[in-house]
Each structure stands twice: as structure tokens, then as C-alpha cells.
């Protein structure tokens, strides 16, 4: 499990590799606000395309999941490195970002399947560990950016992109040589395209998925734009960009810890209870975070709490689906869940920069509040469903 979490942490650093250096890319390529948003959205779109393709063909259930992870992490590293190597403007960079996202669809959902295959009684904790790795990996570009600020050997954004590609290649080697699937799920399955729709037709699985969709409405817009809000706040107060970058990484790091701890608690007191609490806290942070824009220290404190709550529930939606879905097609069920969830993120990622220009950071995150509301309603309905007893050893 340690090697799997390490591989996911290193490879998922590709996700925000370009987003973390958007201010530098905006200066070099004269990017509009909309084009800056597409630096993240193109990865989401690629991930959705890759995950849907994999789900329809049941790839992560028909082939060795560790090899799928290794292959995908390698190609993702290559496509990511192509941006500083070959891109002279945003057009080609967006193509490489799309391809990188498509490859990450072969890392994260199969990684969850592998983790679930090793865990049964403590599946929430185990998948929580994996989501913690995803969270830390997503924040890694901000740490690399802060650490590379003092170096002039290469432009900062080159260093961040090359650094994340090297990390992903290391992840591929770990997946290929050190990771195996466990005994608690079927090893392979026959092709069955109908499994791609079961997550929406089976009621308990559908409710777990709608909880996830509410969570995703909020998550990636928060991850993409809270670091920018922190940078704006820190600059206005006279603090350095390095300090803002470290604060942004702190938000992700806090989320990693929160995800792991929430997994432990969810196995003991129930998935629906933990997810509802996390959604309530993160929804409150959506409401109040912008009010502290001119007070960077208080803003950082709120964002750290938000960083914990916004991701604490994520693993539990995936754990729930792995417990409610047909055990032969858990990989496909997770691919469908993540692909539709990431498709939804495109809406808030596109709307957020538009609203920033109109209402500013003070009010923009009100856009995200419907997500936690939908998630809480879905989780309460799932808790009352008889089949929810299949989750968390009966703890619902």
C-alpha cells in the first residue's frame, strides 16, 4: 500500500503542473483569463475522455492494473515534458495537457481498484490513504514552484514541468516493479459494455455517485483558484510569492492528512456520516473564505480548514462504490464515477474565472455551495437505503 500511495503521489503531480505556473505562463504567452482556466480544464477534459474510454472497454478490469498504471504514468510524463520542450504558445500546450489528463485516467481509478483489492474491513482508511497521496501530489507543483524560485538555471515553469515529469517516471517504475493487485477483488473480467451504465441505474450506487458529483462541483475549482486567491492576498499585503506558494501547498498537505484521518473515522462511524460532516464544513468555507481576502493570515487559516474538509469525503464516495458495485467490475464502476465527476468540474472551472472578473474573490466561491448541498442530500438518502449496510462493515 505504501508503494501504491507513493506512485500515485508522484504521478498525480502532473495534474496541476501547468496550473501552478499559470501566472508565469500568462506573462510569457499573454494568456487571457479564460485561457488560464483552460490550462486546468484541458487536463480535466483529457481525464474524462480517457476514463470513459477505459470504462466502456473495461480496461482496468481486463488487464493488469499495475501495468496500466505504469504505462499511463510513463506517457503522462512524456506529454507533460513536451510543453517546455516544444510549446511556444498555449495552443500546443493545451493539446499536451489534454493528453496528460487522458493518461492520468490510467493512474488514479486503477490505483483505487488496486488499493481496494488489498483492503476489506478498513477500505475507507486505505482509499483515504490513496486520496491523501492524490492530494499531496496535486499540491506538489506549488512546492516545486516555491523551491525553484531561487534558481535561474531554467525558467521557473520549465523547472516545475520537468520536475513533475521526473516524478511521474519514478512512479511508473514503482508501479511496474513493486505493486501487485490484492486478493479481495476479481483479477480479470469479461468485456461487458453495460457495466459502464450500472453506476447510474443501481439506486445505492447512484446515490453514492451523486454525493461524489456534489463534492466534485466544489473540489477542483477550489484547488485551482484558492492558490491564486492566496497569491493575490499575499501580494497585496507585501508578502513574497514564495510565501504564497508555501501557503498553497499547505492547503493541499492539510487535505492529505484530513483524507487519511477521515478514512479511519468513516470505517468506524460510517461513510455517510463523515461525508455529510465534511460537505457541511467545506460548504461553510465556500461562504466565508472570500471575506478574508484582505487579511492573508486569517485567509490562510480558513483555507487550511477548507483544504481538509474539501477532500476528506472524496475517498469515502469511492470506497462506497467499491462496496456497492459488482466486485468483478469495480474498476469500471470507479472509472465511470471519476469520469462523470471530472466532467462536472469543467462547469465550475469555466465559470469561476468569469465570476472573478465580475464579483471578485470575495463572492466567487458562492458558486460552489450547491455542490455540498446536493452531496449531503444524496448521502442522507443513501444512509436510509437498506443496501447501505454493505458499506464500512455495516456502519453505513
- Max CA distance (Å), the chain: 61
The string of DSSP codes covering 18-52 is TGGGHHHHHHHHT--HHHHHHHHHHHHHHHHHHHH
From CA 227, how far away is CA 133, in angstroms rounded? 19
What's the sign of the alpha-carbon dihedral 46, 283, 111, 247? positive
Q: What is the CA radius of gyration of the chain?
A: 20
Distances (CA, A) of 272 to 92, 204, 375, 388, 394: 43, 12, 10, 9, 12
- Residue 236, Cβ neighbours under 10 Å: how many? 11
CATH of the domain at 99: 1.20.1250.20
| pLDDT reported for residue 90 | 93
Which pLDDT score, from 0 to 100, does residue 191 have?
Answer: 45
> What is this structure's pTM?
0.84
- Give the tens place of pLDDT for each residue, 278-317: 999 999 999 999 999 999 999 999 999 999 999 999 989 9
Residue 50 belongs to what domain range? Answer: 2-394
Alpha-carbon span 212 to 17, nearest angstrom: 24
pLDDT at 303: 98
Domains in the chain, number: 1
- Give the model confidence (pLDDT) of 23-54 as tens digits: 889 989 998 888 888 988 899 899 989 988 88
**Which residues of the chain, if any, have pLDDT below 70?**
60, 149-151, 185-199, 327, 392-394
pLDDT at 133: 92
Distance CA 68, CA 102 (A): 12
Amino acid at each position: 500500500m505504501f508503494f501504491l500511495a507513493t506512485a500515485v503521489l508522484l504521478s498525480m503531480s502532473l495534474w496541476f503542473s501547468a496550473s501552478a505556473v499559470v501566472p508565469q505562463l500568462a506573462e510569457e504567452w499573454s494568456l487571457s483569463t479564460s485561457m488560464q482556466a483552460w490550462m486546468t480544464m484541458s487536463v480535466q477534459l483529457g481525464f474524462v475522455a480517457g476514463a470513459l474510454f477505459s470504462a466502456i472497454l473495461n480496461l482496468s478490469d481486463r488487464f493488469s492494473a499495475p501495468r496500466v498504471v505504469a504505462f499511463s504514468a510513463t506517457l503522462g510524463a512524456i506529454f507533460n515534458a513536451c510543453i517546455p520542450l516544444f510549446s511556444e504558445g498555449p495552443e500546443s500546450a493545451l493539446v499536451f495537457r489534454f493528453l496528460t489528463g487522458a493518461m492520468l485516467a490510467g493512474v488514479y481509478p486503477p490505483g483505487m481498484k488496486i488499493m481496494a483489492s488489498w483492503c476489506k474491513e478498513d477500505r475507507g482508511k486505505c482509499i483515504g490513504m490513496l486520496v491523501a497521496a492524490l492530494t499531496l501530489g496535486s499540491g506538489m507543483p506549488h512546492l516545486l514552484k516555491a523551491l525553484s524560485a531561487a534558481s535561474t538555471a531554467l525558467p521557473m515553469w520549465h523547472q516545475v514541468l520537468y520536475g513533475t515529469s521526473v516524478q511521474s517516471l519514478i512512479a511508473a517504475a514503482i508501479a511496474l516493479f513493486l505493486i501487485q493487485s490484492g486478493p479481495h477483488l476479481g483479477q480479470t473480467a469479461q468485456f461487458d459494455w453495460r457495466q459502464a451504465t450500472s453506476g447510474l441505474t443501481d439506486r445505492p450506487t447512484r446515490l453514492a455517485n451523486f454525493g461524489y458529483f456534489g463534492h466534485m462541483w466544489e473540489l477542483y475549482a477550489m484547488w485551482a483558484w484558492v492558490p491564486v486567491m492566496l497569491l493575490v492576498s499575499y501580494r497585496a499585503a507585501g508578502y513574497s510569492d514564495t510565501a504564497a506558494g508555501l501557503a498553497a501547498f499547505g492547503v493541499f498537505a492539510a487535505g492529505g492528512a484530513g483524507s487519511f484521518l477521515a478514512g479511519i473515522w468513516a470505517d468506524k462511524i460510517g461513510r455517510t456520516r463523515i461525508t455529510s460532516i465534511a460537505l457541511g464544513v467545506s460548504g461553510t468555507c465556500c461562504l466565508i473564505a472570500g471575506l478574508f481576502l484582505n487579511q492573508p493570515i486569517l485567509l490562510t487559516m480558513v483555507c487550511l480548514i477548507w483544504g481538509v474538509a474539501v477532500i476528506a469525503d472524496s475517498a469515502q464516495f469511492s470506497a462506497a462504490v467499491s462496496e456497492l458495485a459488482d466486485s468483478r467490475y469495480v474498476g469500471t464502476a470507479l472509472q465511470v464515477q471519476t469520469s462523470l465527476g471530472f466532467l462536472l468540474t469543467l462547469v465550475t472551472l469555466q465559470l469561476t474565472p468569469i465570476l472573478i472578473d465580475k464579483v471578485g474573490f470575495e463572492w466567487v466561491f458562492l458558486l460552489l455551495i450547491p455542490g455540498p448541498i446536493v452531496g449531503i442530500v444524496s448521502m442522507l438518502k443513501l444512509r436510509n437505503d437498506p443496501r447501505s449496510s454493505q458499506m464500512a462493515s455495516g456502519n453505513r
